[in-house]
Structure 1
Amino acid sequence: MATLSLHTCRVQQPHATINRIHIFFHFTAILFLLYYRTTCLFLEKNVPTLAWSLIFTSELILTIIWILIQAFRWHPVSRSAIPENIPGGIELPGLDVFVCTLDPKKEPTIEVMNTVLSVLALDYPPEKLSVYLSDDGGS
């Protein structure tokens, strides 16, 4: 028995090419900057060593973080759900939705009620859906 996929996943090719070119140029510039910092730190005599090494360390940390973030841009993916492939007659689990509020000045009452009404309008069996509204009572 073949199972149907509940979602599709495809690579956004035009965006991937543009992103990869940008990543390549940006990475090249970062390597030149790190090379410059390294050579100035170890080869020149009149460089303030503490400040220069702190700048070099911060740039090295930010480079590592930047490299880790680029994985999402190197292979951008577009996903879409296919609800038609959900098999009929399956037992849906119970769903609890908690809407927490804090301050009526930051979260107006009308917006909170719109959120609650949106949750209640979900296409889900009403006997399986529970909505809880929590207020801290601060004001």
Structure 2
Amino acid sequence: MSAASTKRKNAARVIDSVEPLERRRIGYKCDFLVRDTISEHEESLEYGAGEVGIKYEQMGTKLMTEGSVKLPKVLKDMLDQLILKNKDYKNIQLFGIVHSGLAVQLIAADRPHQYVTRITRGKELKIPSNIAKFGDDVLPVLVQVWQLK
């Protein structure tokens, strides 16, 4: 789960006193996170996230919910944490990947102005299951993955 989302959700949580403490809320659970771990139990920095589906559906609810709603929120929380840590918002960009079956779409999050988070969606690309179309359609997918690197 995303540590940045967990931190945002629990920012208003107060220390236990007479009343019992409310349960700690957890962040969004992504299928994978790209994070940098630091020794001495400091908080880790997160740079990207991804959602993976079993099969490709053109307008499926899983892709809509996780790729269009959940993943951008996670990327925004991660971007907020990195900006607080680095005190610079102009040179930071995070990535997200929505992968379902043979289709992949890249999502980027950056901050062009101090209080504006921009979510940019890449073109949804699909690797064909037909071997005759393999050469023309695979190259754009490889280029998109290379640009992500």
Which structure carries more helix by proportion? 1
Tell me if TM exceeds 0.5. Answer: no
TM normalised by structure 1 equals 0.29
TM normalised by structure 2 equals 0.27
Q: Greater relative contact order: 1 or 2 (C-alpha under 8 angstroms, separation 6 or more)? A: 1
Q: Which has the larger radius of gyration?
A: 1
Which structure carries more strand by proportion? 2
